Amino acid sequence: MILIIFNFAAMLEDKNTSKTQLSDLGEFGLIKHLTKHFNITHKSTVYGIGDDAAVLAFEGDQCVVTTDLLVEGVHFDLSYVPLKHLGYKAVMVNLSDVYAMNATATQITVSIAVSNRFPLEALEELYAGIKTAADIYKVDVIGGDTTSSTTGLLISVTAVGQAKADDIVYRNGAKESDLLVVTGDLGAAYLGLQVLEREKEVFKVNPNSQPDLDQYSYLIERQLKPEARKDIPELLKGLEVKPTSMIDISDGLSSEIMHLCEQSEVGVHLYENKIPLDPTVISTCEEFNLNSTTVALNGGEDYELLFTIKQEDYPKIKANPNLTVIGHITNKDQGAALITRANEKIALQAQGWNPIKNN
């Protein structure tokens, strides 16, 4: 449930009243305090927090490792992102990459850099979100680091997972005539961000305004508290479908499709009328005067999975409401193209969210 919005700024400002300064604990005391509730559940975690390094053992499986860095002011804005949700999301964006390899996520490490404007209570909120994510997604928190930052908050999560060598799915396996499939629906997280940015502007003018965001709750939830698709590798296994290639959608459908095409050396026809959109996305696009296809293609942060399957596997997936066939793989010479509702063919462009490019 997304209820707390715009309250957090106030919490940071009153740190000098009853809040605990981080310097009171020292680095080791802080780590100990923040991680004391984390439990180890995986057999593959031989040793977690407490020594110079964690020890892992994956009998016979291969191990996948991925890492992401989230920076305040670049990836998140604390004026409307509750720290608990931020902790949760920081874990999700990493687990999503593990699932995109068709692997099981098993461990994470969490490192943060914070300025002294954050009281201990703020970090407890952040770690409560991390713990919630670790509990629900069944991953062990096995280490990390805390250090100081001169400006904002930085969070780096590394996720570890395991899979049989034969089960791992790479980006480079798509073949001509394969079907392109996406999970869930697209564009909502981007619109959630647009709603929050708009409310922030309203809030600046009138800090006492209490926005009624009920109609946008799905969009805001997708932005603030995304869920990684842990269920999809399990679902596909149950259906006896192994994707030929797979990637998660962090930067937008368009750029992820282009990654698959480039690495598989193929082209694609993506059908505009097949792109799955939630009704709230359609209505909010109208309100914001945005094109819903553009939002789905370039919005990003949906954390859905995009994959290709052999045509012969289609009967196994066609009845599943989580999965939508949105196109098919073509010869490389045909390029990556969007087939519009008017049956026009337009070259896809990677306009996904790219902080480095924007700079």
Residues in contact with Mg ion by CB under 5 A are 97, 248
Shortest Cβ distance from residue 353 to Mg ion (Å)? 12
Nearest to 293 by CA among 226, 355, 227, 339: 339
- Count of CB atoms within 10 A of residue 323's CB? 23
The three-state secondary structure class of 247 is: strand
Q: What is the DSSP letter of 334?
A: G
Cβ atoms of 321 and 220 within 8 Å: the answer is no
Residue with smaller CB distance to Mg ion, 84 or 171: 171
Shortest Cβ distance from residue 290 to Mg ion (Å)? 24
Residue with smaller CB distance to Mg ion, 97 or 199: 97
SS percent in the chain: helix, strand, coil, step 5: 40, 25, 40
Shortest Cβ distance from residue 66 to Mg ion (Å)? 8
Residue with smaller CB distance to Mg ion, 60 or 355: 355
Residue with smaller CB distance to Mg ion, 78 or 181: 181
- Tokens read off for 331: 């010869």
Residue with smaller CB distance to Mg ion, 97 or 278: 97
Shortest Cβ distance from residue 248 to Mg ion (Å)? 4
d(CA 178, CA 272): 18
- Tokens read off for 216: 């946008």
Shortest Cβ distance from residue 154 to Mg ion (Å)? 20
Shortest Cβ distance from residue 20 to Mg ion (Å)? 37
CA atoms within a 13 Å half-sphere pointing along the CA-CB vector of 132: 18
Residue with smaller CB distance to Mg ion, 15 or 229: 229
Shortest Cβ distance from residue 169 to Mg ion (Å)? 12
Residue with smaller CB distance to Mg ion, 255 or 292: 255
How do 267-271 and 336-339 pair as beta strands?
parallel
**What is Dmax (Cα atoms) for the chain?**
65
